[in-house]
């Protein structure tokens, strides 16, 4: 039985796609310490490596997550501190990252997504915190977390963290399935983009007035 050219092309396309849907490419060596000192003269999908013979233990360690973040730096009352190739060069090409999340009393990590990674977050300190995400059928999943509890946010889905406690802050640590997960906050990207989205688009999308658009933009720094 002959295989049609269309079916063969379709099968080959699936094979090719299956090789590119992974969050990060697999490393081809034990480690690839990010070169943070040499000016980057060209851009690539990742960070250039130093000579492996120059690797030392400090390349695989960081204290970046040891200090509390400033939760007053934004109107939502939270701060996220990420590991990256600058503060932890040994994670380059390993397909993972971590973040420390400090949330003030009654603070919120507003709805956002990580386009390149799934996330698992663990609550370390606090009393009661609400974690949740919305899937592509607009179904909401929420869970109240207490110290020691964990929650998973699937890749690229909009999610949030809200500290119910009106008096005490919360502390969480998250792990990501990419060394550069990216973060896109729904409200910021919509109302504070540069250049700004047309008012008519926002008015129709959110069924609000021009005055509402101006007020929200002003509140978000747009």
Asked whether the predicted pLDDT for residue 40 surpasses 80, the reply is: no
Residue 110 has phi, psi (to 5 degrees) of: -65, 165
DSSP reduced 3-state for 111: strand
- For residues 107 and 74, the answer to whether their CB atoms sit within 8 Å is no
pLDDT tens digits for 132-168? 999 999 999 999 999 999 999 999 999 999 999 999 9
pLDDT tens digits for 101-110? 999 999 999 9
Write down the domain spans for the chain. 52-182, 192-222
Residue 208, token pair as written in the block: 């609000």
Q: Which helix or strand (DSSP H or E) is residue 198 part of?
A: none
Helix axes 210-220, 199-206, angle to 10 degrees: 100
Q: Distance between CA atoms of 166 and 63, rounded to whole angstroms?
A: 29
DSSP reduced 3-state for 42: coil
Give 222: exposed, middle or buried? Use CB within 10 Å, 0-12, 13-18, 19+: middle
Rounded to 5°, the CA angle 217-117-62 comes to 95
Q: Does 52-182 carry CATH code 2.60.120.10?
A: yes
Beta-bridge partner residues of 122: 150, 173
**What is the structure's pLDDT at 220?**
93
pTM given for the model = 0.85
Among 11-15, 61-65, 182-186, the minimum mean pLDDT is found in: 11-15
């Amino acid at each position: 039985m002959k295989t049609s050219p269309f079916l063969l092309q379709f099968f080959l396309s699936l094979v090719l796609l299956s090789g590119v849907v992974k969050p990060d490419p697999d490393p081809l060596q034990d480690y690839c310490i990010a070169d943070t000192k040499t000016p980057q003269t060209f851009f690539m999908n990742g960070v250039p490596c130093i000579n492996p013979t120059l690797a030392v233990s400090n390349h695989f360690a960081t204290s970046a997550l040891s200090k509390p973040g400033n939760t007053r730096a934004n109107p939502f009352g939270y701060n996220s501190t990420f590991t990256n190739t600058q503060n932890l060069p040994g994670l380059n090409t390993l397909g993972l990252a971590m973040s420390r999340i400090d949330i003030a009393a009654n603070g919120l990590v507003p709805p956002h997504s990580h386009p390149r990674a799934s996330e698992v977050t663990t609550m370390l300190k606090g009393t009661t915190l609400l974690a949740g995400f919305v899937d592509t059928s607009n179904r909401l999943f929420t869970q109240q977390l207490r110290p020691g509890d964990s929650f998973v946010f699937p890749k690229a889905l909009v999610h949030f963290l809200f500290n119910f406690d009106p008096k005490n802050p919360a502390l969480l640590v998250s792990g990501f399935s990419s060394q550069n997960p990216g973060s896109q906050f729904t409200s910021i990207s919509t109302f504070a983009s540069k250049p700004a989205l047309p008012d008519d688009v926002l008015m129709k999308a959110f069924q609000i007035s021009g005055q509402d658009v101006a007020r929200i933009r002003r509140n978000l720094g747009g």
